[in-house]
Structure 1
Amino acid sequence: MDRVTCSSSNQTSMISVQKALDEIGLSTFLSSPRDVYLIILQRAIRLLVYGQSAIVLTAFLKSLAFTDFQMGLFMTLTLLGDAVGSLILTIYADRLGRAKVLLGGSLLMTASGLVFASSQTYIVLLLAAMVGVITPSGNEIGPFRAVEESILAQLIDSDNRSTIFAWHFTLTLLALALGNLSGGWLTRALQHHLGWAAMTAYRAMFLLYSTAGLLNSALTMALSANVEIQRRSSGGEEDGLFEMGEAEEEVVEETKEKTTFSFSPETKKKVWLLSALFGVDNLSGGLVPVTIIVYFFTQKFHVDEGTLGNTFFTTSLVAAISNLIAGSLARRFGNVKTMAFTHLPSAILLALVPLPSNFQFARAILVAVFCTTKMDIAPRTAFLTSYVSAEERTAVMGIINVVKTVAQSLGPTFTGLLATHGKIWLSFVIAGVLQALYDLAMLYFFTRAVSVS
């Protein structure tokens, strides 16, 4: 009798575990094509070094005696330069070759990292950041995101996109968390244990950044031809990216001829509306990027890079885990409702961040912000990739991402002006209000949106 009871209990436990794994979509993720893993790995590597550089960037610029306004202008122009380059590359990515665009972006990462590791001239650093790939916010920049998300949407059927994107963002946000943690502590260790000067330690982080670009270049070349639009090998096998046969090359040429920059009237309407709404959301994000938050906490509470690294490790870790929950919610309530109702609480909390006079209390609010602030990413991406046709997807996502970048670029300069007048706290309040308006607008316009791809 005891054996029967024990066996029944074990079966119940196994069923519960399986349900939990199905709920977070683990089996779906594990059955994904190899290219999905390579794309996620590349983004994880990028966000790792993005997280590291975001922790030290403002300190690096401050060490070079740049003013608050110069730093704000630097971040704004960096994002604008990125927007122009990304617009060109993503619009024509399907013609040029998606993998080649990713390869070019990775090489630009390497180049810009080397410049930051060797130069101290404002204009040189600015040009390297604008032409190359340096993130002033700790978030994704460059042509990568639109191209990679278009690839993932092509490789995964629409029913499983929210799940795969949830895992995609969870794993890459974990990498960002590790970058935030390691960036602060590595900088601190190099100074306190090895006796390096602060500037030397900062430059070492940019050398790591440059190395990551080289590693991603190698990973890009390992992608199969399936990442390209309508590119399949005649035998159904995955070929190396630069090992196409004659039949496949003919398909590629046909694809290039068909892939032009033109949208249907319906798509144009969608692009205008989505660009406006995402622009508002990213303007708010540009007001308080990670680098600005780091600067605010440093100035107000006088905490060091190691402590801030711990803080942003916690926030990124919380944000990463929350993405798996978002995937489950999206399957139940739909992408748009999940986006709005998970993002709205963080918008309200963001406006409250500057209120506490105690560091621990302020940090607790910041962590609470990140509990839900990233939960809209996976359902938003799944919604966007399904809302436009497959043929227009890469260009649409590229344009929208550029609009988001431009909107985000306006924020740092405005926050820099507020900082010069001792009003940097106001940027948190404005950002929170803008994010709340964006969430409500998404609910109003897209609750009944229909998937087309």
Structure 2
Amino acid sequence: MPPPAPSSMPRPTLLPAGASPWARTLLLARALRALADGAMAVLLPAWLLALGFDALSVGLISTATLLGSALATLAVGAWGHRFSPRSLLRGAALLMAATGAGFALLDGFVALLLVAFVGTLNPSSGDVSVFLPLEHARLAQAARGPARTALFARYSVLAAACAAVGALGAGLPQWLARVGLEPLAALRLMFGLYGLLGLVLWGLYGRLPRAQEAQPAGDAAAASAGEGRGALGPSRPLVVRLALLFSVDSFAGGLLVNSLLSLWLLQRFNLQPAQAGVFFFATGLLSAASQLAAPRLAARIGLLNTMVFTHLPANVCLVLAALAPGLWSALALLLVRAALSQMDVPARGAYVMAAVTPPERTAAASFTAVPRSLAAALSPALSAALLAAGLTAWPLLLCGGLKIAYDLTLWRACRDVRLEG
């Protein structure tokens, strides 16, 4: 039998069936941001240590980045409905460009602390920036039902894969130093590239349709009924409950953002930035691969069960890694954790969007993100203080223990919630 004609063969596509074509712009923007975040999370502690700062300073600047992002996200949740989502995303992209310029040109602690607070730098493996609720709300408009879960999964998978490549790029300054560029100049160059990427995103977000043009048919009536409201309504109790629970998870995660995990690997096992970049590349690929299974798993056992029953064993591995006797056993446990810990990300985004009414989605995305960012902002300084005091196991133990408690509480508190399409 002759092979089928090329036109009849299925073609792989970035978007799931039923998603609006303009969602490709959001996926591409998320991929570019993840490339930058993956590199910066590894390079930030190396840059600050090269400038002569200590571990506590790394923690304080990480805290400032997360706290500033939380306040910006809070502002978007409270007043963002008064502005065009496209304009807000383009404004955030310009802020990203200014952040890269600030870190490339300044070297005083107070100046860097201020830029970290008002800017978009992300020291963690996840996205806690002001971009997140804005992009989530637009993604929710682009698809419905199973297609929405699949779209959120592809958004998360693409982010994890590109963050892995970005982490591998953290070895670029070391290579540039070997070919003759002064080490500090090589690190400054990376922050300059981060700023240039913000300008690229500014142009990319300009291709998004206006909110009214992006509304899927199934949500049009609901959006029309809720036009101008822009705040939480009947879903408020559920959103508050989720926000409180997510804040516990984020506080725990803030104890071990990638910048601090990189610092822990340096202090505990003398793992250098280029070597840490390879490790984060591997963990990012594992996270991306595991998230490909999230929509299929969610279709079989539900969004909530996917969130809880993949997250729980990952956190057990983290606790065991804190007690590991050597480098290879610790890395093996952290790799197993990476293969499981991010499967809840697309499920969580889809769960929040499905649990509220369409007019509440932007506010729900913001108000569940804000406590997460605020809680995550409190913990890096604590973790850095523990590392500076020589208590190297405690950040991992606290992170894993709190996350295990979060998993069990989330399942008990939300197992009877009914989801919309």
2: distance between equivalents of 1:390 and 1:433?
35
Contact 2:101 2:191 in 1 (8 A): yes
Kept in 2, the 8 Å contact 1:91–1:394? The answer is: no
Partner of 1:428: 396
Find 1:42's aligned residue among 1, 7, 29. Answer: 29
Asked whether 1:336 is paired with 2:336, we answer no
Counterpart among 161, 165, 181 of residue 152 in structure 2: 165
Residue 405 of structure 2 aligns with which residue?
Answer: 437
Verify the 8 A CA contact 1:95 1:260 in the aligned structure 2: no
User: Is the 2:73–2:130 Cα contact (8 Å) retained in structure 1?
Assistant: yes
Q: In structure 2, what residue type is equivalent to 1:176?
A: A
Q: Are the aligned partners of 2:18 and 2:147 in contact in 1 as well (CA < 8 Å)?
A: no
Corresponding residue for residue 220 of structure 2: none
**Which residues in structure 2 correspond to 1:47-446 (within 5 Å)?**
47-183=34-170, 185-192=171-178, 194-225=179-210, 228=211, 230-231=212-213, 258-260=227-229, 262-264=231-233, 266-446=234-414
Highest CA radius of gyration, 1 or 2?
Answer: 1
User: Contact 2:141/2:214 (CA < 8 Å) preserved in 1?
Assistant: no
Per-residue deviation, residues 118-140 of structure 1 (Å, max 9, x unmatched)? 11011111111111211122432
Identity %: 30
Deviations 1:199-240 (A, max 9, x none): 111111101101110110010011122xx1x4469xx9xxxx
Cα-to-partner distance string for 1:24-78 (whole Å, 9 max, x where unaligned): x968626632211100100110010011111110011112222222221221122
Distance 1:327 1:191 in 2: 43
Residue identity in the other structure for 1:387: A
Residues 279 and 407, structure 1, Cα contact 8 Å, conserved in 2:
yes
Q: Runs of 5+ in structure 1 lacking a partner?
A: 12-16, 237-253
8 Å Cα contact 1:187/1:305 also seen in 2: no
CA distance in 2, matches of 1:286, 1:189: 30
| Amino acid in structure 1 at the alignment position of 2:98 | A
CA distance in 2, matches of 1:139, 1:113: 19
Q: Is the partner of 2:100 in helix, strand or coil?
A: helix
- 2:263 partner letter: Y
Query: Per-residue deviation at 1:267?
Result: 2.2
Q: How far apart are residue 101 of structure 1 and its match?
A: 0.7
Contact 2:15/2:21, CA 8 A, preserved across alignment: no
Q: Displacement of 1:90 after TM fit?
A: 3.5
* 1:352 partner SS: helix
CA distance in 2, matches of 1:284, 1:257: 35
| Correspondence for 1:243 | none
AA of the residue aligned to 1:263 = L
Partners of 1:232 and 1:338 in 2: how far apart?
29
TM-score by length of 2: 0.92
Between the two proteins, the alignment pairs up a number of residues equal to: 411
Distance 1:447 1:257, change over 3 A: closer
